[in-house]
Amino acid sequence: MREHRVTLPELALIGGTRGMIGLGAGLLISEYLGFDRRRLVGWSLLVIGALSTIPIALRLRRGKQLFPRDANARSPAAAMMAD
């Protein structure tokens, strides 16, 4: 099994795209808005969420971080302990 280290911003980005897909799919099957508006918004969210997920998934699959850290930078917890 492969192990991936995911930072909090990466997790938020992944969660956001998943949320867009879920909201878009939910709008497509609901009757909350009028038919035309619901279809437009639902498909837009679904497609944007799916298309934005592709580069994220490819980058994580290759093992690269989405938000690379500076090698000399300290974590906030380490900085607080050193002060």
**pLDDT the model gives residue 12:** 86
Number of structural domains the chain divides into: 1
In a domain, 69, yes or no: no
In a domain, 5, yes or no: no
- The percent of residues above 90 in pLDDT, for the chain, comes to 0
Tell how far CA 12 is from the center of its chain.
Answer: 6
**CA dist., res. 62 & res. 55, Å (int):** 11
Tokens of 67: 């938000």
Average pLDDT (8-22) is: 85
In a domain, 72, yes or no: no
Range(s) of the domain holding residue 52: 13-64
Residue environment code for 3-36, b if the CB has 16+ CB neighbours within 10 A, otherwise e = eeeeeeebeebbeebeebbeebeebeeeeeeeee
In a domain, 3, yes or no: no
In a domain, 30, yes or no: yes
**pLDDT the model gives residue 28:** 81
**pTM, 2 dp:** 0.56
**CA dist., res. 77 & res. 74, Å (int):** 8
> Is 17's pLDDT higher than 80?
yes
**pLDDT the model gives residue 53:** 83
